[in-house]
C-alpha cells in the first residue's frame, strides 16, 4: 500500500508540474504577443516618419528646382543687369578688402 501512495503522490506532483508549465507557457505566449504588437506599432510609426521625411524632402527638392529655374530665366532674360551686378559686387568687395587691410596695418612713420 505504501507503493500505491508514493505512486499516486508522484503522479499528482507530475500533473501539478505539467499544469504549472502550461500556465507559464500561456503567460510567455501572452508576453510574446504583447511584444509583437509593440514592435508592429513601432514599425508603423517608423514607416510614417520615413514617409513624412521623404515627402518633405521631395517638396524641398521641387521648390529648389523651381527657384533655380526662375533664377536661370532671369539671368537669361537680363544678362547685362546680372553682369553689371557681378562687376559692382566685385568692385565693392575689392574696396572693402582695401579698407580692412589699411585699418589692420600698423601706422608707418617716415623720417
Per residue in 39-57, pLDDT (tens digit) is 999 999 989 888 888 999 9
- Per-domain boundaries in the chain: 2-78
Q: What is the pLDDT of residues 54-70, one digit of tens each?
A: 999 999 999 999 999 99
61: helix, coil or strand?
helix
C-alpha torsion angle, residues 98, 100, 105, 111 (rounded to 10)? 50
Amino acid at each position: 500500500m505504501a507503493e500505491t501512495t508514493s505512486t499516486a503522490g508522484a503522479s499528482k506532483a507530475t500533473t501539478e508540474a505539467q499544469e504549472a508549465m502550461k500556465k507559464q507557457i500561456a503567460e510567455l505566449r501572452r508576453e510574446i504577443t504583447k511584444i509583437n504588437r509593440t514592435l508592429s506599432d513601432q514599425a508603423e510609426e517608423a514607416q510614417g516618419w520615413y514617409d513624412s521625411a521623404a515627402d518633405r524632402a521631395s517638396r524641398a527638392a521641387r521648390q529648389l528646382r523651381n527657384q533655380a529655374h526662375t533664377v536661370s530665366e532671369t539671368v537669361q532674360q537680363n544678362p547685362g543687369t546680372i553682369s553689371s551686378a557681378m562687376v559692382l559686387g566685385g568692385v565693392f568687395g575689392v574696396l572693402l578688402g582695401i579698407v580692412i587691410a589699411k585699418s589692420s596695418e600698423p601706422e608707418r612713420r617716415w623720417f
